[in-house]
Structure 1
Amino acid sequence: MITLEDWALIRRLVIDGVPKSRIARDLGISRTTVVKAAASTTPPKYERKQQATAFAPYEDALRRLLKETPTMPQRSSLSGSAGPVGALAA
């Protein structure tokens, strides 16, 4: 993925008439990347796909415990205490 600065530079160089192959060579990127950057109207944006976390299998049980036990602390340091996290492991 190119940076915002590279994207702006590519667009400016293309407008100035610099060949796309030269831009690619000078920046050390693919010509395809230069073509896509020159054609895009918005700057590049990194987007990460949503993935399940390691906590996901326990989330429902923990939320249920928090509803059933309102005095239970809602935050816990995961330092190995026998708090809400320890109760789920049992």
Structure 2
Amino acid sequence: MTAATERKEYPISMRLPEADVAMIDRAASLRGRSRTDFVRDAAVRAAEEVVMENRLIRMTPEGFAGFMEVLSRPALPVPEMVELAKRPAPWEPGYIAKR
């Protein structure tokens, strides 16, 4: 008698409108991926985001007080961000694309 092997992959079946499939296929093609790979990666990425958004962070009262103290400090300018904010946006006059 053979031992039962643990299943490593599970099929998922979906019914989608033609327009959705066409959009997925176009995006997958632009990434050089198969539809299956593209949908799997997108679904896993979305699932990870939801899990991380709902993750509970625990800390001691002292740790929380320290965290709040750091958040309460005045923000320091980041020179690169200041420079970036001063540049005109691509749709604004004066924009010059850097190559």
Range into which the TM-score falls when normalised by the shorter chain: under 0.3
Larger RCO, structure (CA 8 Å, separation 6 or more): 1
TM-score (norm 1): 0.25
